[in-house]
């Protein structure tokens, strides 16, 4: 089974800034940096993650068909319904009246919805493909 997606809802934006401190330096993933106190104000995640508020939704992933793209069961996806999908985008599509997340490939024989896990098959819609929205960000949770 490909799993399912739960639409959490539209992104709500509070008019008051809700900042999180942001560092001025990147954090190296190799050797630790001796940097100390390199924080430079706050970042508002709404303005950082949302391009078009009325068209942006969060959906929660249920399943493992996209693990090769770094999308895991329980992650939340920021989806912009105002974007036109292009070849290679990760999209939310309607298949058999259900939402699914897959990578869109536009081929000479028509569009394909490709999983990023070899345990799943590519979906080749028989009729018109309905793309519900384009995934812009994956909020991946690190589990302990």
Does residue 144 belong to any structural domain of this protein? no
Quick one: 76 and 39 in the same domain?
Answer: no
Quick one: 42 and 65 in the same domain?
Answer: no
Helix, strand or coil, per DSSP, at residue 113 = strand
pLDDT digits (tens, 9 = 90+) for 34-60: 555 566 667 777 777 888 888 888 899
Quick one: 74 and 122 in the same domain?
Answer: yes
Residue 18 has what pLDDT? 53
Does residue 113 belong to any structural domain of this protein? yes
- Here the CATH number for the domain that contains residue 111 is 2.10.109.10
Give the mean pLDDT of the chain. 80
Quick one: 128 and 78 in the same domain?
Answer: yes
DSSP H or E run through 140: none
Distance of CA 129 to the CA centre of its chain: 19
Structural domain span for residue 133: 4-11+52-139
Does residue 96 belong to any structural domain of this protein? yes
Quick one: 75 and 41 in the same domain?
Answer: no
pLDDT digits (tens, 9 = 90+) for 4-13: 455 555 555 4
pLDDT-derived band at 1 (thresholds 50, 70, 90) equals very low
Backbone angles phi, psi at 19, to 5 degrees: -85, 155
Quick one: 70 and 133 in the same domain?
Answer: yes
How many domains, in total, are found in the chain? 2
Quick one: 39 and 72 in the same domain?
Answer: no
Cite the active site residues.
Answer: 65, 102
pLDDT digits (tens, 9 = 90+) for 100-109: 999 999 999 9
Quick one: 41 and 79 in the same domain?
Answer: no
Q: Is this prediction's pTM over 0.85? A: no
Quick one: 65 and 131 in the same domain?
Answer: yes
Quick one: 85 and 113 in the same domain?
Answer: yes
- Output the CA–CA distances (angstroms, integers) from residue 90 to 32, 40, 112, 132, 140, in the order listed: 33, 32, 11, 11, 15
pLDDT digits (tens, 9 = 90+) for 63-86: 999 999 999 999 999 999 999 999
Quick one: 30 and 89 in the same domain?
Answer: no
Quick one: 44 and 57 in the same domain?
Answer: no
């Amino acid at each position: 089974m490909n799993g399912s997606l739960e639409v959490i809802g539209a992104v709500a934006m509070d008019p008051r800034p809700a900042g999180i401190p942001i560092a001025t330096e990147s954090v190296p993933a190799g050797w630790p940096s001796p940097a100390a106190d390199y924080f430079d104000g706050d970042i508002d995640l709404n303005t950082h993650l949302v391009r078009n508020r009325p068209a942006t939704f969060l959906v929660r992933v249920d399943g493992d068909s996209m693990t090769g793209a770094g999308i895991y069961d329980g992650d939340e996806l920021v989806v912009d319904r105002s974007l036109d999908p292009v070849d290679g985008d990760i999209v939310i599509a309607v298949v058999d009246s259900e939402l699914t997340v897959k990578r869109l490939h536009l081929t000479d024989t028509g569009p394909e919805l490709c999983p990023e896990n070899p345990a799943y098959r590519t979906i080749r819609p028989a009729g018109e493909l309905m793309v519900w929205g384009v995934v812009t960000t994956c909020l991946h949770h690190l589990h302990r």
